[in-house]
Structure 1
Amino acid sequence: MTTPDWRDGKRYLWPLGLLVPLIPFGAWLGVHLTGLSLFWWSGPILVFVVFPLVDTIVGQDTENPPEAAIPGLEADRYYRWCTYLYLPVQYVSLVFAGWLWTRPELGTVDRVGLAVSVGCVSGIAINTAHELGHKREDLERWLSRIALAQTGYGHFYVEHNRGHHVRVATPEDPASSRLGESFWAFLPRSVAGSARSAWKLEFARLRRGGGNPWTWRNDVLTSWAMTLVLFAALAVAFGPAILPYLLIQAVFGFSLLEVVNYLEHYGLSRQREHTGRYEKVRPSHSWNSNQVPSNLLLFHLQRHSDHHTYPTRRYQSLRHFEEAPQLPSGYPLMIILAWVTPLWRRVMDPRVLAHYDGDLSRTNRGPQ
């Protein structure tokens, strides 16, 4: 899409994100051509070794589309198909992995490596579901829930849109991490808190309409049911022996979502106004990153400030804000830092304090 003065320079790069669900095929091909079983671990090698290096080499892009171009960008269905196509490739790769897990030539370590690689696919699929789930079209919302079924995290569809976006950067939000809180303390708090919140939100919605929450109209129940049907179908097709590996990929996949949740709002806080309500969400309440490769991989998720300010805005239109605090690198490297608490705190705690001019009382901080 163009205006007289501007063209989207990344337009034909967005389909590169479709390389992610091809990871299981690439792993099999690598093993087949070289005999090296290390290729079964291609997912984490690509995401946590290759992508941080490429992010560092390629660097950042802070260009924003001009306001005059945004309506055309939003209407251009080419960008939608870049997300729609992730799902069929995602599920074909899952079925292929199911077949691979039954192969006698794979040892237990190889199968676990493949499961973690599939978990990289399903974890990044949650990001695709995130993009689709914010849209108003019924088709995109259904596709979002389908993408989430592989990780058993269908309640994210409810909690993220109606819970997290309302309470973000406050102590009431289970998906907003606190200054001084390690990822390993945040993980169980967010997993349990988000599931409880989703159930409460859906229960309240159905009760307001005078309905029974124990119904197929309950989006949490139907989303979980989709996962049960999917796993049951794969177990029937390939045998129950694949169930442990389906569980591994699901846990690794939703843990990737949670570590991204952890780094997106770490220590950032919305202040209470004199009315007692929290201030409006602003770009300063989310950490941003403009690394080009990982933004292509994640459909601009790293321009998170604009996303929270305008939740229905499509990924190709998201903008960089100078007032938004900036991460020192893209998400792949920041995830590794989040897993190593002393490194994370050494890098990020000073940045949080600098963002608030050294005023600790303005941060979202843990009890410690």
Structure 2
Amino acid sequence: MFHYLKFFLFHGIGLLAALFLTLGGDWMTVGFLSIFLGYVMLDALLGDDITIPDYKAPGILTWQLWMALPLLSFIVFTFLWQVGNGDPLGYGALVQQLSGYDMAVARDTTSGWNLFWGVIMTGLMIGMVGTITGHELTHRTWDPVSMFVGRWLLAFSFDSNFAIEHVYGHHRYVSTTEDPATAPRGRSVYSHVLISTVRGNISAWNIEQERLKKKRQGLFSIHNVAIRGYLMSALILVASYLIAGWAGVLMFTAAGLWGKALLEIVNYMEHYGMVRNPATPVQPRHSWNTNKRFSSWSMFNLTRHSHHHAQGEVPYHELKPYSDAPMMINGYLTTIAVALIPPLWHKLMTPKVLEWDEKYATAEERKMAEAANRKSGLKSLQGVTYSEASTA
């Protein structure tokens, strides 16, 4: 039973964020810092989870994923309530009736600083509750319910096209120069967010165009999944306007774009610096992995990324920890924080990249790594070469 319950930690964190957003004011600032620091400390203290439970009732695990859509909708609603002026859906009155807490008074004390952290926390939840779950669900291309829920979750970060590019593009070209989501050595996370976003959308559009061409369906039609994805995000913007006016549209857009940026930051740290010949099979060694217990339990095993890329069709509860795979710096939020500080990132990751070359790369990949080192712009990499003996 415990192994089913542990994944409800994900929902608990989402509800905690909704509570902080409901309280408003300084609680939005305190809320983000508590969640972020809690992740960092618990990943550091709780160690790794390398268990491989046998789940007899996988349907429960699917329902846990589907629950993310109403949860994320509620989280975003609580934030938009704080942005607007009225009492949408009578939520403030209900909270006061049940608890005695006056949300309207608390909203009057909310500063621009509080709203900034409200955007950051809401975007974090869009990235975690939305993108992580949407990622898992849109891999289940055989299940229309999971695809429906997953694409709507991704629409909160203006990224329903992720369901196209990630499944049919990224998983094919991961750790190669043809993959928008794989960051080459030396690239900063900030440029990667922009480059990967643009290239990823172009790739998704091209993949969808090719699919429609094969089915002899019109590009600019209801059959175009990419266009439908844009419209889904537009509907969420309309809902934001109805809840909190133009301020709601602006604030949700900021939170959604931050959620999208988080996805690209995660892409950055999951495959940074790795190389692969696209003609060769994807192996567990072509992704950075982590088995930190708290990240694993609260992110539906997204942490077991090495197995996920080796077998993308395997559901999250069957992923193996692969303790011998190349490992990230730490858990996910810790690694995100390090990635946002490029000098620190390169200082910590350059030894890991060189270790990957030595320990995991094939002879062909070492030659590719040499070329990547020369192009990196990093002095710590540019002088590194591999002799014929080491690549034999």
TM superposition score normalised by structure 2: 0.83
Assess if the C-alpha contact under 8 Å between 2:289 and 2:305 holds in 1: yes
Assess if the C-alpha contact under 8 Å between 1:356 and 1:362 holds in 2: no
Assess if the C-alpha contact under 8 Å between 2:21 and 2:118 holds in 1: no
CA-based RMSD of the aligned residues comes to: 1.9
Assess if the C-alpha contact under 8 Å between 2:180 and 2:200 holds in 1: yes
* 2:214 is equivalent to residue 208 of structure 1: yes
Please report how far the alpha carbon of residue 209 of structure 1 lies from its aligned counterpart in structure 2 after TM superposition: 1.3
Assess if the C-alpha contact under 8 Å between 1:41 and 1:116 holds in 2: no
* 2:41 is equivalent to residue 53 of structure 1: yes
1:80-117 per-position Cα deviation (integer Å, ceiling 9, x unaligned): 11111111111022122211111451332222221221
* Residue of structure 2 in register with 1:12 after alignment: 5
* Residue of structure 2 in register with 1:147 after alignment: 153
Please report how far the alpha carbon of residue 63 of structure 1 lies from its aligned counterpart in structure 2 after TM superposition: 2.5
1:128 pairs with one of 126, 133, 143: 133
1:116 pairs with one of 120, 125, 128: 120
Larger radius of gyration: 2
* Residue of structure 2 in register with 1:352 after alignment: 353
Distance in 2 between residues matched to 1:44 and 1:349, nearest whole Å:
30
Distance in 1 between residues matched to 2:35 and 2:224, nearest whole Å:
35
Number of equivalenced pairs: 345
* Residue of structure 2 in register with 1:224 after alignment: 230
Q: Which has the higher contact order (CA 8 A, sep 6+)?
A: 1
Please report how far the alpha carbon of residue 237 of structure 1 lies from its aligned counterpart in structure 2 after TM superposition: 3.2
1:308-342 per-position Cα deviation (integer Å, ceiling 9, x unaligned): 11112111111022441012311110001100011
Distance in 2 between residues matched to 1:142 and 1:83, nearest whole Å:
12
Assess if the C-alpha contact under 8 Å between 1:48 and 1:336 holds in 2: no
Distance in 1 between residues matched to 2:76 and 2:308, nearest whole Å:
29
1:209-256 per-position Cα deviation (integer Å, ceiling 9, x unaligned): 111110111111101101111111220232122111011101110111
Task: State the one-letter code of the partner of 1:41.
Answer: T
Assess if the C-alpha contact under 8 Å between 2:182 and 2:271 holds in 1: yes
* 2:130 is equivalent to residue 137 of structure 1: no
* Residue of structure 1 in register with 2:174 after alignment: 168
Runs of 4+ in structure 1 off by over 6 angstroms are none
Distance in 1 between residues matched to 2:8 and 2:78, nearest whole Å:
21
* Residue of structure 2 in register with 1:342 after alignment: 343
* Residue of structure 2 in register with 1:255 after alignment: 261
Bigger mean CA deviation after superposition, 208-217 or 103-112: 103-112
Please report how far the alpha carbon of residue 42 of structure 1 lies from its aligned counterpart in structure 2 after TM superposition: 4.6
Bigger mean CA deviation after superposition, 18-27 or 332-341: 18-27
Task: State the one-letter code of the partner of 1:237.
Answer: I
Please report how far the alpha carbon of residue 47 of structure 1 lies from its aligned counterpart in structure 2 after TM superposition: 4.3
* Residue of structure 1 in register with 2:333 after alignment: 332
Change (3 A) 1:29 1:142: closer
Distance in 2 between residues matched to 1:246 and 1:29, nearest whole Å:
16
Task: State the one-letter code of the partner of 1:115.
Answer: V
Please report how far the alpha carbon of residue 43 of structure 1 lies from its aligned counterpart in structure 2 after TM superposition: 5.4
Distance in 2 between residues matched to 1:262 and 1:23, nearest whole Å:
28
* 2:303 is equivalent to residue 302 of structure 1: yes
TM superposition score normalised by structure 1: 0.88
Assess if the C-alpha contact under 8 Å between 1:43 and 1:116 holds in 2: no
Task: State the one-letter code of the partner of 2:208.
Answer: E
* Residue of structure 1 in register with 2:91 after alignment: none
Assess if the C-alpha contact under 8 Å between 1:175 and 1:261 holds in 2: yes
Assess if the C-alpha contact under 8 Å between 2:184 and 2:272 holds in 1: yes
Assess if the C-alpha contact under 8 Å between 1:24 and 1:114 holds in 2: no
* 2:270 is equivalent to residue 267 of structure 1: no
Distance in 2 between residues matched to 1:354 and 1:362, nearest whole Å:
15
Distance in 2 between residues matched to 1:123 and 1:43, nearest whole Å:
16
Distance in 2 between residues matched to 1:98 and 1:28, nearest whole Å:
9
Please report how far the alpha carbon of residue 266 of structure 1 lies from its aligned counterpart in structure 2 after TM superposition: 0.9
Assess if the C-alpha contact under 8 Å between 1:24 and 1:96 holds in 2: no
Distance in 1 between residues matched to 2:151 and 2:166, nearest whole Å:
12
Distance in 2 between residues matched to 1:346 and 1:202, nearest whole Å:
39
Change (3 A) 1:307 1:42: farther
